[in-house]
Amino acid sequence: MQIVTIIFVVMLGISTLVLLWLAGRHIRHVTAHRQQVPADFVQVITLEQHQKGADYTVAKTHLQRWQTVWNGLVVLAWTLGGGLQWIVTQSEATGVGVLWQSVMVVVAWFVVSDVLSLPFEWYRTFVIDERFGFNKTTLALFVRDWIVSLVLNMIFGVPLVAGIIWFMTSTGSAWWLWAWGVFMVVQIVILWVQPVIIQPLFNKFTPLTDPQLQGRIQGLLQRTGFAGSQIFVMDASKRSGLGNAYFTSFGRTKRVVFFDTLLAQLTPGQATAVLAHEIGHYKHRDIIKFIGFFMVVSLAGFGLLAWVLPQAWFYQSFGVLAPQMGAALVLLLMVAPIAGFIFTPLQSAFTRSIEYAADAYAVRHTDADDMVGALVALYRDNAGTLTPDPLYVAYHYSHPPGSARIGHIRSLGAENT
Ligand SMILES: [Zn+2]
C-alpha cells in the first residue's frame, strides 16, 4: 500500500469520525435543552413549538449521520473498491477518442453519485418533512425536479468538461490557466442567468406588488438604490412549507426573492426588515466576495490538477491503474474535499460574519424590533432549533444561531436609540 493511500484512508476516517462526533454532540445538546424554552424566547415561542424544533433537528441530524457514513463508503467504493477503474475500462472499450472517453468517465461518475445520494433526499422530503408537516411536494414533482436538474447539469457540464479536457491536450503546459479562465467565465455566466433562465424551470417568480408593502419600502429602495422591480415572490409553497428569503446574482439580474411561505407569516414591518437584510448583502457586495473566494479556490484546484495529471502514483494511490484525464478530474473532486474538511469551519465563520453585517445593515435602515420579530417567525415556523451545540454551530452553521443573531440585533438597536 502506498503512503498516499494510507494518508487518504486515515484522513477519510478522521473526517468521518469528526463529522459523526459533531452531529452526536448536536443531538445530545438539543435533546438536553428540549424541556425548556430559552429565556429570551419564552414570550414568543411555546414549549410545544420549541419541542417540535428540537425533534425536527434531531431527526435531520440522525439522517445526516447516516449520510456521512454512506458518503465515506461511496468514496471508498469509487477509489480503492475499483469503481472508477471499472468505468475507465468501459469507456476505453467504446473505442471513441480519448477526449470523449474522459467525458464519459466524468458523466458516468456524476450520474451514479447523484443516484446514490437520491435516497437521502427522498427520505428527508417524504419521511422527515412529511412527519413534521412541511412537505408539500409529490413524488411526480420530485422525480420531475431530479430529471430537470440532471438534464441541466448535462447541458452545462458536458461542454464544460469537454472544454477542460480539450485544453489539457491542446494548449501546452499553461493549459490549466486557460481552462480556469474559461471555467470561471462559465460559472459567472451561469450565476448571472440562473434567476431568469434556470430557476423559472422550477418555480414561478412574481414581482412583489403588495400595496401595503410598496408604500413602506419606497423609502428604503430610494435610500439604497435598489429598484422595486428587483423584488420577487417565489411559489416555494408548492414543494415545502419552510420559509426563507435570499439575494442572488449581480448586475441586471440581481434580485431579492421572498418565499411565499415566509411572506405569509410576516407583518409589513418585518418583511421590510428582511428586505433590508437582503439589500445589505447587495450593498456589502457579498456575491462578489463569494465569486472572488471561488476564483482563488478553483485556481488552486486547477493548479493541483495540472500537477497530478501526469503522475502515475496519483492514480494508483486511489485505485486507478493508469493516468486518464477524466479520472484525474473525478479523483480530485472526490479527494480534495476530504483534505478540505478542515477549512469548512473557516468558511462557515466567514459566512456568519457576512450575516451579522447584513443584520446590522437592516437595523440601521429599518427597525430592530421588526428584524427580531422576523427572525422569531422564521425559527418558529421552520422549526429551527434555538439551542444548537456550539461546536456544531462553529463547524457547520452558515448563519449564526437565532439567539446570537437576536442578541446582536438588540445590542445594535439599543445603540441606535
Ligand atoms: Zn443573509
Residue 278 inside a domain? The answer is yes
The predicted structure's pLDDT at residue 417: 55
- Domain encompassing residue 362: 203-285+347-416
Residue 357 inside a domain? The answer is yes
Average pLDDT over residues 189-218: 90
Distance from C-alpha of 125 to C-alpha of 137, rounded to nearest angstrom? 8
* 374 Cα–ligand 1 center, Å: 13
Lowest-pLDDT range of 222-226, 381-385, 413-417? 413-417
pLDDT digits (tens, 9 = 90+) for 269-288: 999 999 999 999 999 999 99
Contact residues for 223 (Cβ-Cβ < 8 A; gap 6+): 365
Residue 270 inside a domain? The answer is yes
* 245 Cα–ligand 1 center, Å: 8
- 141 pLDDT more than 90: yes
The predicted structure's pLDDT at residue 269: 92
* 11 Cα–ligand 1 center, Å: 33
* 148 Cα–ligand 1 center, Å: 28
* 170 Cα–ligand 1 center, Å: 43
Contact 23, 59 (CB under 8 A): no
Residue with cell 454551530: 393
**Quick one: pLDDT band at residue 26, thresholds 50, 70, 90?**
very high
* 404 Cα–ligand 1 center, Å: 14
- 227 pLDDT more than 80: no
Contact residues for 64 (Cβ-Cβ < 8 A; gap 6+): 23
* 53 Cα–ligand 1 center, Å: 21
Share of the chain above pLDDT 70, in %: 99
* 246 Cα–ligand 1 center, Å: 7
* 263 Cα–ligand 1 center, Å: 16
Residue 95, by phi and psi: left (phi above 0), alpha (psi -120 to 50) or beta? Answer: left
* 298 Cα–ligand 1 center, Å: 24
* Cell (9 digits) for 123: 427520505
Residue 359 inside a domain? The answer is yes
Tell me the β-bridge partners of 233.
206, 258
> To the nearest 10°, the Cα dihedral for 82, 88, 89, 95?
170
* 276 Cα–ligand 1 center, Å: 10
Residue 358 inside a domain? The answer is yes
Which residue, 339, 338, 356, is CA-closest to 397? 356
Average pLDDT over residues 344-353: 95
Distance from C-alpha of 90 to C-alpha of 317, rounded to nearest angstrom? 20
Contact 326, 106 (CB under 8 A): yes
Contact 118, 146 (CB under 8 A): yes
Contact 233, 206 (CB under 8 A): yes
pLDDT digits (tens, 9 = 90+) for 373-409: 999 999 999 999 999 999 999 999 999 999 999 999 9
Contact 210, 105 (CB under 8 A): no
What is the helix (H) or strand (E) element at residue 91, kind and residue range? helix 83-93
Residue 196 inside a domain? The answer is no
Residue 236 inside a domain? The answer is yes
pLDDT digits (tens, 9 = 90+) for 239-274: 999 999 999 998 889 999 999 999 989 999 999 999
Residue 386, SS3 per DSSP: coil
pTM, rounded to two decimals:
0.92
Distance from C-alpha of 32 to C-alpha of 168, rounded to nearest angstrom? 54
The predicted structure's pLDDT at residue 149: 96
Distance from C-alpha of 135 to C-alpha of 106, rounded to nearest angstrom? 33
* 40 Cα–ligand 1 center, Å: 22
Number of domains in the chain: 1
* 355 Cα–ligand 1 center, Å: 5
What is the helix (H) or strand (E) element at residue 369, kind and residue range? helix 368-381
* 269 Cα–ligand 1 center, Å: 17
How far, in Å, are 72, 344, 370 from residue 337 at the CA level? 12, 9, 39
* 277 Cα–ligand 1 center, Å: 6
* 108 Cα–ligand 1 center, Å: 36
> For 110-114, which contacts have Cβ atoms below 8 Å and span 24 or more sequence positions?
110/153, 110/157, 111/150, 112/83, 113/74, 114/150, 114/153
* 370 Cα–ligand 1 center, Å: 15
Residue 327 inside a domain? The answer is no
**CATH number for position 405:** 3.30.2010.10
